[in-house]
A = this chain, B = another copy of it.
Amino acid sequence: MSATEGQRGSSTLEPAHPHTHLAFAQSRALRPSTKVLPEHARNHNRSLVLQTLYRTGRQSRADIARETGLTRVTVSDLVNDLIAERLVIEMGQREDARPGKPATILDIDRSAFQIVGIDLSEHSLFRGAVLDLDGQILNEAEIALAGSTGDDAVAKVLALTEQLLAKTTAPVLGIGIGSPGVVNLDGVVLSAPNLGWHNLDLRAQVEARFGHAIIVANDANAAALAEHSFGGADGDLMIVKVGHGVGAGLLLGGSPLYGSRFAAGEIGHVVVGTDGGALCVCGKHGCLETWLSTPNLNLAIEVLRASGASEAEVDARTNLILIEAGQRLGIALAPIVGALNLPEVVLSGPTELLDGPLAQATIETLRNRTMAEFHGDLTLRMTTLGQNIVLRGAAVMVLSGQLGVS
């Protein structure tokens, strides 16, 4: 019997029935699935320090200690590591006059690393950018898709990546790729019909070629992360991407929802309403995409324009088309928004189509079809990040994966 054993035995014994509290109360830990070693804890705290610096910027070690609850000693130690890794720099002493030794201001060296972000979700081209650690775009590039699919499309991803890497002017933190379709956590594109990809290990292919840290995820999930980190949204939101197809990304408690088969957010082929609808390429009638995808909307509007009606007539009937589309979106979203108690829905896509009668009709329909108590919390708006939302989301994935920061 060891001394340790004896001590513990007597110190942790519980009082007897019926009034027993266990000494420790596991806060809300559900199903711990892997062991935790001291180094994991250290990494966590390291990220915590980075995180506070990333969000607040320009703080002293003592500031960070107060905010994180760690001691100044521990923060100093972690910061020393971060400085040695060139991630954090000392910015000189704090200016403002107050008692005590002046603080040494720290900040993440936001120009020390760069991120390559790539967006594969557009119909006719792949877009990419070099971004700094703040998610600001430093350089852009694009490559026409020209109908490429399969390995040809992969080659274009690699070519674009190469172009972008050539434009970097600092060490590369990682490469983030937002791809359409169903992507698993290992960066394997399980299915992206438009690109002819099935079980394509895109992450491995890019890594084999360039050797950086690569993260591949669904484009809408990337967009949701961007909206959270850079668009001012909080941690619970749904982003609806309207384009050639319709897809969604869900962020719950700050984390993307992937779904049991990584197909969360694939709402384009959910049937909307109980009154039929147009035939969809998938074979069903009345899928959300038949109401809402940009090709379908633009087609309807062009038919209208070619009809020879007056301009006022065309405008009025265009509005009706957009309102109908918005209502259909609202009908589809209402059960989701209600079931998830979502406070925020964000639209991404062509502003001229979405940002007006369509969005208005969507929010009205949502309110008409969900619980009234809940309406005060419910907002629907266009993204503030425009076309770069997936690129910036790809950067968030890299930041989050490499630094634990976002």
Contact = CB atoms under 8 A, between A and B. Distances in A.
A335 B14 contact: no
Interface string A154-179: 00000000000100101111000000
A262 interface: yes
B21 A259 contact: no
A331 B406 contact: no
B377 A260 contact: yes
Interface stretch (A37-45, A90-98, A119-127, A305-313): A37-45
A55 to B, nearest CB: 9
A36 interface: yes
A6 to B, nearest CB: 10
Contacts of A248: 339
Interface in A5-53: 5, 8-9, 12-14, 16-26, 28-38, 40-41, 43-48, 51
A254 interface: yes
A147 interface: no
A333 interface: yes
A33 B333 CA distance: 31
Contacts of A18: 165, 168, 170-172
B30 A335 contact: no
B17 A370 contact: no
B403 A259 contact: no
A324 to B, nearest CB: 11
Interface residues of A, number: 114
B334 A270 contact: yes
A40 B13 CA distance: 20
A369 B271 contact: yes
Given A8-B81, A404-B26, A335 B267 contact: yes
Given A374-B261, A402-B26, A38 B35 contact: no
Given A261-B377, A284-B368, 9 more contacts: A4-B77, A9-B84, A13-B85, A17-B168, A30-B406, A40-B41, A259-B341, A334-B335, A335-B335
Interface of A: 4-5, 8-9, 12-14, 16-26, 28-38, 40-41, 43-48, 51, 68-70, 77, 80-81, 84-87, 113, 165, 168, 170-173, 185, 191, 211-213, 234, 236, 238, 248, 250, 252, 254-255, 257-267, 269-271, 273-275, 282-284, 331-336, 338-343, 368-374, 377, 400-404, 406
The 8 A-B pairs of least Cβ separation, nearest first, read A259-B341, A20-B171, A271-B369, A26-B404, A273-B274, A17-B171, A9-B84, A263-B341
